[in-house]
Amino acid sequence: MSDNVVPIKRASNDAPPTLTPILSLTATPMNAVNAIILDRMQSEIPLIPALAGHLIAGGGKRMRPMLTLAGAEVVGYQGTRHHKLAAAVEFIHTATLLHDDVVDGSEMRRGKSAANIVYGNPATVLVGDFLFSRAFELMVEDGSLKVLKILSGASAIIAQGEVDQLTAQRKIETSEERYLDIIGAKTAALFAAASRISAVVAEKDEAEELALDAYGRNLGIAFQLVDDAIDYDSDAAEMGKDRGDDFREGKMTLPVILAYARGNEEERRFWQDAIAGFANEDADLAHAVELIRKHDCVTATRDRARHYAQRACDALSIFPDSAARRAMVEAAQFAVARGY
C-alpha cells in the first residue's frame, strides 16, 4: 500500500469536526464489543459488576476500542477477532481509570460520583485488578503472542507513566519534555496499541502496523494535551469532573508549565506556592486560570495538540482513501477541537 499514497481529504472547514463518522463506521462491531464487555464484567461476587458497571455504563467516548474497530476497517479486515481485543483495550483503560481515581482522590468521573467515593478505595482498586485480569484473559483467548506482547507492553508502559506522573507531582521544575514523556506513556501508549493490533490480526505488513501505531500514538498525545487544556478552560458540567482537579493535585501539565515559564517573578512565586500545595483555594484556582489566559497557555497547548493531530492524520497517508480513513482523520481533528 505504501506505493499508492493518496492525499488525505480534510474535514470541511464549514462545519466543526465530529465523532459522527467514526461512530457510524464502528456502530455494528461496537455492539458486539459492548456485549463482550457486559458479559466479561460479570462475577458471582455482586460488588464486582456493580462497581465496574458504575464506570463502564457511565458513558465515555470509547475512543480506544473504537480505534481498534476503525483500524480494522481501514486495513480491510473481515474477521471478528478484534471484537474481543477491543473489549480488552476498554478493560485496560477502565482499570487504569479506577486506579487513577483512587490515587488522585477524585470525586467525579464522567459527570457523576467516582467509584472510589461510592464504593471506597479498597473495592475500587480490587475491581480494577479484576478488569485487568479479564483483559488478559481476552488476549490469551485470541491466541496471538504478538497481540499479547503489544497490549501487555502497553499496560506496563501505562503503569510506568502513572508512576512517573506521581513522582513529578508538585515539582515546579518539571520540564515540557518530561511532561510529554509522561503523557506519551500514560495515555498515548494504549491509543497506539489499540490501533496497531488491527493490522496484526489482519496479518498486514509492518509498514501498516507502524502507520496505525503512529496514528494512535500521536492522537493519544493530542487527546491528553486537550484534556489538560480543558481543565483550565471549561466548567465541571462540560468536563464531567471537578474543574481544577489537576491544579489542586499539583500536576505539572503543559498549561502550567507554559504559564510558569512565561510569568514574571511574582507570578512564578504564585505557581511555586500553588504547585507545592500552599495555594489551592477557589480564589487561587481563579488566579491560576487568569494567569493561564493572560499568557495564552490554553491556546498554546491546543496548538501543540493540533501538531500531533496532524501527525496522526499524516500517518494514515499510506492507506487508500476510504470512508474509514476519512473517519479516523476527522476523529483526530475532533480530538483537538472538542470542549469536553
Q: What is the pLDDT of residues 98-144, one digit of tens each?
A: 999 999 888 888 778 899 999 999 999 999 999 999 999 999 999 99
- The neighbour count for residue 129, using CB atoms within 10 Å, is 13
Percent pLDDT > 70 in the chain is 93
- Give the helix ranges, DSSP H, for 249-296: 254-262, 265-276, 282-294
Q: What is the dihedral of CA 221, 225, 227, 229, to 10 degrees?
A: 180
- pLDDT tens for 304-320 read 999 999 999 999 999 99
Three cell numbers, residue 152: 501487555
**Mean pLDDT within 317-327:** 98
- pLDDT tens for 197-244 read 999 999 999 999 999 999 999 999 999 999 999 999 865 435 445 678
At the top level of CATH, which class does the domain 20-337 belong to? mainly alpha
Q: Give the pLDDT score at 109.
A: 83
Three cell numbers, residue 244: 481544577
Q: What angle do CA 151, 156, 157 make, to 5 degrees?
A: 95
Residue with cell 477557589: 282
H/E element, 278: none
Task: Give the 3-state secondary structure of residue 74.
Answer: helix
pTM of the predicted protein model:
0.93
Q: Is the pLDDT of residue 178 over 80?
A: yes
DSSP-derived letter for residue 9 is P
- pLDDT tens for 9-44 read 455 556 899 999 999 999 999 999 999 999 999 999
Phi and psi torsions of 233, nearest 5°: -140, 5
Three cell numbers, residue 190: 494504549
Q: Give the pLDDT score at 4.
A: 42
As a whole number, the mean pLDDT across the chain is 92
Task: Give the 3-state secondary structure of residue 109.
Answer: strand
Three cell numbers, residue 177: 519534555
**Domain parsing of the chain, residue ranges:** 20-337
